Amino acid sequence: MTRILADRAARLLDFLWSGWAGLAALALLFACWQAGHETWGDFILPDPLATLGATWSLAISSESRGLLLLTAQRALAGFTLAAFSGAVIGIIAGYAPAVMRLARPLLTVVLGVPPIAWIVLTMMWFGTSGATVAATILISATPVVFVAAAEGIASRDRGLGTMAEVFRYGALGRFWFIDLRQAAAPLFPALALALGTSFKVAVMAEMLANAGGVGGALARARAMLDVPQALAWVVLAVIALVVVEYGLIRPMQAEIEGWRRAAQPWGVKK
């Protein structure tokens, strides 16, 4: 038990240490931003500090937190739907080559349609509601999850399945302990990607469908040509995405894919 805790702590420290690199990258971004601000002036690119100030005042106002929460909720709801349906159909396609052959061309068509077109269609189907946002996310984020799940299952090491069968694992046990575990490797990066797509599409759909949330607030800022306000909302939306990704997806991935660290030369050896 203490070993596990120590391991967790080591991983957390390791992660925080790697945060320095992230901090350096952020500092670089702010330096470029500041330079852009000084070149083009306040109207095109406001002062980064002023933007951070605007972000802060948005963050502490309960009204805007409500908007952010609404968008995050919609994004997460759409993401959950997309992750679930993509994984389920993908796993089926991974086992059944016939389903895969059917799904491939469909996928090409679905992926070929720009998300914005889906927003227009779903708006006409569902009106300006949360359902429009959820449906658009579902359509845009499902394919990546589907492809990853299908690849993960189709490219599984069948030898491990045979081994499990020797040791009396039934079909369900093999699926749970062997196949699903192998599919996790491509699935997690795809889930992170789908989550990002969910947030982006949520904001976009809200803006176009005038469905409130961060998208609605962005539309208002645009109408009033309030660039700092618009940027502040963007920063908030990015922060929300990062919080969800590093609070939900990455820890799960670290838990399940932790063994890969052992393969790294600098991996912590017990």
Partner 1 sequence: MSAALELHRIGHAYFGQSVLNSIDLQIAPGEVVALVGPSGSGKSTLAHIAAGLVEPREGRVTPGYARHAMIFQEPRLLPWATAAQNIGFALRRAKLPRRLRPARVAEAARLAELEPQDLAKYPVELSGGMRQRVAIARALAVRPDFIFFDEPFTALDVALKRRMQDLVIAAAEEAQFAALFITHDLVEALRIAHRIAVLDLRGRGIAGLRILPGDPGARDEATTFALRQRFLTEDPLFRHIHDVDERRRP
**Chain-centroid distance, C-alpha 244:** 8
Q: Which residue is listed with tokens 């061309």?
A: 105
Count of chain residues binding partner 1 (CB under 8 A): 22
Instruction: Extract the tokens encoding 57.
Output: 């005042």
Distance CA 221, CA 166 (A): 64
Q: Which range binds partner 1 by CB under 8 A, 49-57, 93-101, 153-161, 206-214?
A: 153-161
Burial of 146: CB neighbours in 10 Å, binned 0-12, 13-18, 19+: buried
Name the residue nearer to partner 1 (CB basis): 120 or 256: 256
Burial of 81: CB neighbours in 10 Å, binned 0-12, 13-18, 19+: middle
Q: Which range binds partner 1 by CB under 8 A, 27-35, 79-87, 136-144, 176-184?
A: 176-184
* x-marked contacts with partner 1 along 247-266 as a string, rule CB under 8 A: ---------xx-x--xx---
Task: Name the residue type at position 59.
Answer: A
Instruction: Extract the tokens encoding 7.
Output: 């391991």
**Least spacing, CB of residue 258 vs partner 1, in Å:** 8
Q: Does 109 bind partner 1 (CB under 8 A)?
A: no
- Of 47, 59, 81, 165, the one binding partner 1 (CB under 8 A) is 165
**Least spacing, CB of residue 5 vs partner 1, in Å:** 16
Phi, psi of 157 (to 5 degrees): -80, 105
Phi, psi of 129 (to 5 degrees): -140, 180
- CB atoms < 10 A from the CB of 137, how many? 31
In angstroms, the Cα distances linking 235 to 51, 52, 228 are 9, 8, 10
Q: Which range binds partner 1 by CB under 8 A, 30-38, 135-143, 154-162, 226-234?
A: 154-162
- Of 167, 172, 223, 266, the one binding partner 1 (CB under 8 A) is 167
- Of 162, 171, 224, 268, the one binding partner 1 (CB under 8 A) is 162
- Of 160, 193, 234, 248, the one binding partner 1 (CB under 8 A) is 160
Name the residue nearer to partner 1 (CB basis): 101 or 158: 158
Q: Does 173 bind partner 1 (CB under 8 A)?
A: yes
C-beta of residue 133 within 8 angstroms of C-beta of residue 206: yes
**Least spacing, CB of residue 60 vs partner 1, in Å:** 43
Q: Does 49 bind partner 1 (CB under 8 A)?
A: no
Residue ranges that bind partner 1, judged by CB under 8 A? 157, 159-160, 162-169, 173, 177-178, 181, 256-257, 259, 262-263, 269-270
